[in-house]
Structure 1
Amino acid sequence: MPKPAHVQQHLARIIDSAPREWQNAIRARFIKSAPLPPAGVAMDSQAYARWELGLPSENEQAWAELQELADYEDRYGDALRLNIGDEEICAWAQKLADDVEEFDNRIVVHARTTLSFPKLQSASPEVILQTRIDAVRRIVDMLGVEVSKPIKGESDIARAKCARWWRRRLRRHIARVVEAGAINMGLVHLNSGGYVSHSGLHRRKGQLARNAEALGRTFYKNEANQIYNLAELSALSPSNPAIRGGELMTRIRGTEEYADAHGHFGQFLTLTAPSKYHAMRLVNRGARRWAERNPKFNGADPRECQQMMLALWKRVLSKLDRKKIKRYGLRVVEPHHDGTPHWHMLVWTETEEAALALVEIIREYWLSEDGNERGAKENRVDVKRMEAGGAAGYVAKNVGHIALAEHLDVVQGQEIQMRLGLDHPDQPKPQDNSEMAAQRRVDVWAATWGIRQFQAFGTPSVTVWRELRRVSKDQPQQLDLFCPDTQRNIQRAYQACHRHGEIRADWRMFMESMGGHSCKRQDWLLRPARRAAKDGATNMYGDALTAGPVRGVEIQRGRARGHWLVSRRIAWSHCTEKPMAAHAEGVAADADGVINTAGQAAQTRQALPAAWTGFNNFRGRLPGAAAEQISISGNRESEAQTSRLDPDSAAYQRQALANRFQQAAHFFKNAH
């Protein structure tokens, strides 16, 4: 018969195997004070007293407590077992890859020669391949890791043999399982730091440190023989959160200016999930608000809640399309203190009637689940009108860049600034006293659950914006033979993407030149242009490549349709040689992943070598007489330079080759 000693033994085992931050919560949940016997009853007569009062015996109570412990391990056992470090994850990934390769080799090599697989002795190659696929699928399903597509081919077997593939999926799977366990245990709430658990925050910091180290020790060399590490290159691209945040605010400001110029109606919406998706609830205790367990919680993690809201939003968009209501704006996803996501949306419509219809459709779908619960109609969908001239800069709080912190909102004529829950003066301060504590935790929350924080809709592609910034100045001028309207719009889009002295980049002009708002993908003026994949090109796992990398933008309207504006590209190659000391110092990232290069001395670079030909990258078109004059003078100058060189020298050979190239180019130009 079970006894209380057995309960204590199993409880001690669970507590010892649990993370340190879980142990107090487990003790508070399972360690109960023993019931006192009635007055006048001796302690050795407690069993009789329990029987008199109709209470269960010690054996029955111990059995119930053991069942409770078993249920707890069934629910949180994976989170307890998978709370491991990154070194253990890497070793586990390597072991899985080796086991899959060994088992797959046994099927392929020994299926027809041994008795290990009697069902495959006379099987066809298709049956053997399907057996290999089923084996890999069973391993993935047993571990519960998330894959991007179903396992159904030879390339998927090759992925399962790769330790890198396993490592990425195990890290993501373990982080989400452990974090979901912490949420269900009630360890993620306002009073403990909010948004994520302490172990999740520590795990994300380790990931950023590994990324910064990898970027700092990986070097690439370009065509000019200049050597950079990836940290330096990343600091100059939108992968740097500071640059990405500035670009985001440029887009928001330009979208707002476009809406104000066209007299469109703007609304600020806050959308939340039903109360059963919240693990914790806030109660007032004196002057402060404290968190307690939500008895209605259904056990959904933040990713499942986000998927539910995305499904509702798709239904909203379908109905808006059926009613032909155009809309555009930005969606921002933020976490509540317990990690449950909620949405803030900036939505512009063409008329006020369309705005009212949009709100009614959103209310219809957002109240379709538990719409009659208390406070649902008042709080599930919150709508405010944006005044002209206000900007939705509260997103700067999540971007975490000081250059964006001055931007405020104007909603219903009042200037406001959105605050995260932990930033409120009445709430307890987080344990991390730095100014970026809230932004760091939001970043960890979004990275752990794979939630996209910022999503624009109804506006032109930001990829086209970035590619136009790389197009050289002469390329838009090559369209002088095409439609004037098309050329004028391309020129405006190109100018809008660049800063001209004190004139900043203008997303509003870019939107107008691209075609306005709420266009279909094929109706925008420009789209990203991709190089065609080479025949037979595959990735490292054997999947055929269907599209090459982006190489510029393509025109989709007018007689210039199909014409490319090629963006400037520099050929890079991986550099294994040791760079100079001036280049070897990497650029470290901070806890937010921001690569800070301010205050560092400019690193000296090798001078560009002399060009090996007489050509340059000029692609502009000149009138026939001017081109003829330049070609003749260039040939004469090249011949004069050649005559001054030693015929046996390498310089003489290079100059002679350049002369022949120039003559050939002049010949083909005249023939054309």
Structure 2
Amino acid sequence: MPTIPRKLPNASLAEWNARKPTAHLARSHMERVLKCAPPAWRAAIGERIAPKRAPIVAALQTDAEFLASQPEWADAWDLMQAVADFEDEYGAASMWNLGDWEICEMAEKLAGEADELDDLCIARGESLAARVDSIRMLIRCVGITEDKPIQGEPAIKRAQDAAWWRKRLRVHVSRIVEAGAIGLGLVHKERCGYVSQDGLQRRQAQLKRNAEALGRTLFRNEAGQVYTLRELAELGTANPVIRGGELMTRIRGAEEYADARAHVGLFVTLTLPSRFHPVKLGSGGRPVPNKKYKGATPRDGQLWLRDMWAKTRAALARKGVKMYGLRVAEPHHDATPHWHALIWAEDEAGALAIEEAVRKYWLSDDGDERGAEQNRVNIKRMLKGGAAGYVAKYIAKSVGHLALAEHQDVVNGHQITLDFGDTNPRDAKEPGAGFKSVDAWAATWGIRQFQTIGMPSVTVWRELRRVTRDQLELFQLEGDRATVRAFQACHRHAELRADWRMFMEAMGGHALPRKRWHLCTAHRTPEDGQVNKYGEPVKVGRIVGLRAQHGRMCGRWLVSRRIAWAPVISEQAHASQAVEGETTAAAGQAQGGGTPPARAALPRAWTGFNNCTARITGELARELFPPSPHFKEDWCKPETVAQFRALRAMQATEAWH
């Protein structure tokens, strides 16, 4: 790429004549920049450079006008400097504007270069440190973000893996190109809210690739049932409909828990200083460029919010103030993040302490700028019974309206009307599709949209739903009522839905340290010398169940009902049926645009028991052995008792003889 000079040639007249700025040279640089930039940027680039671009040749009418204008070389120089300024600020984004196939090719080449580089170091007899230095040099020359420190043999193996390069390059490309679009003012409510058009298309292409890959992959379980990975994913929290319902269940349960204890509820909205906003709203609500903006990305804004929240929580913990609730990260129309939080305090004094701490830290950075004290922090007291309604709109914007079809809220006896309107002009043809833009925004910048505060782990909740009922019998006999109650809270019984409030009470309450919750996840112990594919030691095994941390059953496990799955290699017929006609609808399903496909009930397994649960429930033993007092359910049966007594009498007679 030719470099634009930053200093006029002034060594001699000959050098000036050879290297002086010309209209042709300026136009060539301008055309090169437009050709390299994404198509959606070209109009914005012209508008950005136009104020500095004086006409190269003007039709002057009088000698006075000619003498008052600057020479042609000066106009060309001004245009070249404007182009150079643009390249300094957005040149990296133009260079990294790659399609996915280009990213895959680049990943293969970089993996091969890392392999060759390491082979060369080994041939030279260099040490491990020198080999790692060469890999570090390669990664940093490329310029991608390092997900882990470049240390030891695992770093070398990661650099030799095309899949690792592909993942890091996709993240790097999406973020740097999207940052360029935001800086150029292409993301706002009158053009593309939340994310640029290219960013949305990139996310939709990713979801389509994932859905097609899941639809082509078949797995068979122990009972011989064959499913595609897409069908299995739609049965869990990867399905936005299920994820949204679970979120609403947790919010409603937390609110019922708080209302039963007369806790004080706060609805908090937290925003960023104005320097994080690329666009501000001028007179009439029209977006205009923000002069204070210095190039911060939404990721930078999210890190600022996280840092201030960490300081706030630490300050409140030192004062002994306990709180719990949920926070939601949401984008402004210009992609700048802000937070909404439902927070409950134990009493009025705790609520006032939370308000004071939040205002203190949020106004500690540029707190004296105009409007900061009034707008940066907004705290309201929540009405009793209306917590779910406060955040339902924000959940719908992130997971889709179908997720909240059965989760409306009632406050003071009145049904809340939720406004699910979209702010993007591009969604006018597809009402209710704004959640796709929010999903693309969160995926591009790696922003966690929902996070609970001071509540029990949802992983324990999900694992407890996998536990079979017969495992609770011993806990019930030993008087561990908390575990039994938590198990009952997690499951739906006829018309009674799962109850998060009861689960919180059974787990010990709110705002507890991790070791004080009643149940925690149990992990399989890794084998000695077990490593991952990059040679790093595995320190924590997979989750296999739950473990009680308190009470008489402390240390006892509840084993999760997990099925062993194996990939299906030669099921071509089933694969063609699973993929046929689903390519277009795959992305919509991944976004929550429908419900999982219905599947007919399968016949009873040929073995007479369920392979996946027999080892835990004891069904295999009941099939193989006759009734006897060894089984708890047979203790009180008269026929079993009579049979047992006859057997004992016969054994005694044989022993006598």
Q: Tell me the TM-score normalised to structure 1 length.
A: 0.84
Alignment counterpart, residue 69 of structure 1, candidates 80, 83, 100: 83
Matched-pair contact (CA < 8 Å) for 2:115–2:160? yes
Corresponding residue of 1:640: none
Match of 1:590 among 583, 587, 592: 587
1:146-157 correspondence to structure 2 within 5 Å:
146-157=145-156
Amino acid at match of 1:404: L
Work out the CA distance in 2 between the residues paired with 1:303 and 1:419.
27
Letter aligned with residue 235 of structure 2: L
| Letter paired with 2:329 | V
Give the AA of the match of 1:528: T
SS at match of 1:31: helix
Asked if the contact 1:196/1:444 (under 8 Å) is kept, the reply is yes
Indicate if the aligned counterparts of 1:145 and 1:170 stay in contact, CA closer than 8 A.
yes
Q: How does 1:104-143 map to 2 (within 5 A)?
A: 104-108=118-122, 110-112=123-125, 120=126, 128-143=127-142
- Provide Cα deviations, 1:426-471, integer angstroms capped at 9, x if missing partner: xx74355212321110000000000000000100000000000000
Query: Could you tell me how far apart the structure 2 residues matched to 1:213 and 1:68 are?
Result: 45
Whole-angstrom distance in 2 between the partners of 1:630 and 1:539? 45
Is the contact made by 2:263 and 2:345 (CA closer than 8 Å) also made in structure 1?
yes
- Residue 321 of structure 1 is matched in structure 2 by 317
CA distance in structure 1 between the aligned counterparts of 2:209 and 2:400, rounded to whole angstroms: 21
Distance change (3 Å), C-alpha of 1:416 and 1:336: farther
1:453 equivalent to 2:442? Answer: no
Deviation at 1:403, TM superposition (A): 4.5
Q: How many residues align?
A: 601
Q: Is 1:545 matched with 2:538?
A: yes
Q: Structure 2, unaligned stretches of length 5 or more?
A: 1-19, 636-657
DSSP 3-state at the match of 1:309: helix
Partner of 1:643: none
Checking the alignment, whether the CA contact within 8 Å between 1:267 and 1:348 is kept in structure 2 is: yes
Q: Name the residue aligned to 2:630.
A: 627
Paired residue for 2:28? 9
Residues 12-23 of structure 1 correspond to what in structure 2 (within 5 A)? 12-23=31-42
Inter-partner Cα distance in structure 2 for 1:276 and 1:629:
69
**Is the partner of 1:589 in helix, strand or coil?**
helix
Question: Could you tell me how far apart the structure 2 residues matched to 1:74 and 1:38 are?
Answer: 29
In the alignment, which of 468, 484, 499 is matched to residue 492 of structure 2? 499
Q: Deviations over 1:267-311 (max 9, x none)?
A: 1000000111000011234xxx32111111011000011101111
Change (3 A) 1:186 1:411: farther
Partner secondary structure for residue 542 of structure 1: coil
SS in 2 for 1:423: coil
- Kindly tell me: are residues 46 and 134 of structure 1, through their superposed partners in 2, closer, same or farther at Cα, counting changes over 3 Å? farther
RMSD (Å), alpha carbons: 3.0
Amino acid in structure 2 at the alignment position of 1:149: K
User: Which residue of structure 2 lines up, in the alignment, with residue 161 of structure 1?
Assistant: 160
Q: Structure 2: which amino acid aligns with 1:548?
A: G
Can you list the C-alpha shifts for 1:545-584, whole angstroms capped at 9, x where unaligned?
1111101110000231111000111111111111554984
Cα separation, 1, equivalents of 2:453 and 2:610: 47
SS at match of 1:590: helix
Read off the aligned partner of 1:389 and give its amino acid letter: G
Equivalent in 385, 388, 398 of residue 384 of structure 2? 388
Give the aligned residue type for 1:68: A
Native 8 Å contact 1:235 1:596 kept in 2: no
CA–CA distance in structure 1, aligned partners of residues 291 and 252 of structure 2: 43
Q: Which letter maps to 1:280?
A: V
Corresponding letter in the other structure for 1:296: K
The CA deviation string for residues 244-277 of structure 1, in whole angstroms up to 9 with x for no partner, is 1111110011001000011100010000001110
Select which of 596, 599, 602 maps to 2:599. Answer: 602
SS at match of 1:474: helix
Runs of at least 5 residues in structure 1 that lack an aligned partner in the other structure: 51-55, 113-119, 121-127, 633-672
Compute the TM-score of the two structures, normalised by the length of structure 2. 0.85
For 1:508-547, list aligned pairs within 5 A. 508-547=501-540
Determine the structure 2 residue equivalent to 1:202.
Answer: 201
Hey, what's the Cα distance between the residues in 2 that align with 1:44 and 1:412? 80
| Cα separation, 1, equivalents of 2:418 and 2:610 | 58
Can you list the C-alpha shifts for 1:329-356, whole angstroms capped at 9, x where unaligned? Answer: 0000000000000000000000011101
Q: CA separation in 2, counterparts of 1:618 and 1:140?
A: 52
Q: CA deviation at 1:43?
A: 5.3
How far apart, CA to CA, are the structure 1 residues paired with 2:326 and 2:409? 14
Instruction: For residue 17 of structure 1, report the CA deviation from its aligned partner.
Output: 1.6
Using the alignment, how far apart are the partners of 2:280 and 2:228 within structure 1?
Answer: 47
